[in-house]
Amino acid sequence: MFNGKLVYSIPKLEIDSNSFWREINPSPKSCSSLIKLLEVYASHENWEQVINLSSRAVLHLSKNFDRADFYHIWICALKETFDSKSLISLGKHLIKMRDFHPVFLSLALIAFHFASCHRSSRKIYLYLNKCKGVENRFAFEACGLYLASLKKSDLNKQGMMLLKKVCSEKKSSYFSWRNYLRAQSENDLLQEMTGTYNAIHEKFPFAQEPYLVASLIAIDEKDWNEAIRVLAQLIKDNPNNSNAILAMAQCYVEVEEYVKAISLLTLKSDLFLDTDYDFHYLMGSTLKKVIEKEFDAELQKIALNHLEKSYHILSRLGFSLQGINAELNSLRDLYNITSQTDMNLMNMHPENVIESENLYQERKAG
């Protein structure tokens, strides 16, 4: 156990990967060392480091296909940070690079797909589908991700098969497995996810995904206390696991432990970006539940701020606004109801009744 932990310890991997930066033309071994470090960073949700090092690695390498692995990692990290603008810029850059190597067009498809650029994604997919000679693993993954997102069941299944094929290869990366797992999750393939989690754990012992399957099953069965227990272990192993933090806060909300949910989100708020709409939505909607029990004008302002941030992000991404609109309107109505209640109470206050009675008597005497 100790040796396993030592192999994947970040300080050791950082030392091992130094050779990549020292070499003018990094060897395959040096490239593998850096990729392993980036995979471990990703398992700890340290996306800033992954983006920084993968983008630098692209510039450091001279061979086009060697760059592909690091472009792929860079794209996957940008997806995790919801940075659609950077994904589009990178996709455009990769299209310009397509004449140097066919792999860049496949990577451009992944970037545009992750940025929800449906028209561009479809054009590139149709081109790749026609060019039978383009058969690198990134082409299979790009086409698989695109097809798996479609509603037509036959194309959807074809996409999932392509992603499975990519992950069955010996050289498949942790990032490709994460993409496969996400596609399964988006298609509600919970049973298949269990096998994928086990495969990830076997291939990448540092991965935290095996814990996630237990929490997903518990959440699916509405066993909130069990989900909280498993998620607590995930957060203990990696205090920066933002997905586990959001899931745990949501579980607290389900058992009406609103204060615990708010405390957890507040304590870990520095992990979330201004673009994390799910964080702002969860914080705002949870504060609203507290306000519904006992109104507080200051808490209402904070809740409105979070929900409005989430609204603007969702609007830019083109997502449905129906649910958040309902939350915002309901939250704004709380103030109006409370204000009206306060006014009625003030009108019924004994002092006001006496004052009104005196005025009536004075006018009557006059």
Residue 265 vs residue 316, higher pLDDT:
265
Instruction: Find out whether 350 and 337 touch, Cβ atoms under 8 Å.
Output: no
Provide the 10 A C-beta neighbour count for residue 209: 20
Q: What is the pTM of this model?
A: 0.66
Among 175, 101, 170, residue whose Cα is nearest residue 145: 175
Is residue 102 within 8 Å of 134, Cβ to Cβ?
yes
**How far separated are the first and last CA of the chain, in Å rounded?**
97
pLDDT of 190 higher than 80: no
Model confidence pLDDT, tens digit, residues 147-178: 999 988 889 999 999 999 999 988 899 999 99
In the chain, domain spans? 1-203, 273-366
Across the range 174-189, mean pLDDT stands at 91
Name the residue with higher pLDDT: 123 or 273: 123
- pLDDT single digits (tens) 67-103: 999 999 999 999 998 899 999 999 999 999 988 888 9
Q: What is the DSSP string of 93-160?
A: HHHHTTTT-THHHHHHHHHHHHTT-HHHHHHHHHHHHH-TT---HHHHHHHHHHHHTSS-HHHHHHHH
CATH 1.10.10 given to domain 1-203: no
- Nearest CA to 257 among 266, 248, 269? 248
CA-nearest of 112, 82, 109 to 98 is 109
Q: What is the pLDDT of residue 11?
A: 85
Question: Which H, E and C letters describe 312-366, residue by residue?
Answer: HHHHHHCCCCHHHHHHHHHHHHHHHHHHHHHHHHHHCCHHHHHHHHHHHHHHHHC
Model pLDDT for residues 247-293, shown as the tens digit of each residue: 999 999 999 999 999 999 999 988 887 778 889 999 999 998 888 88
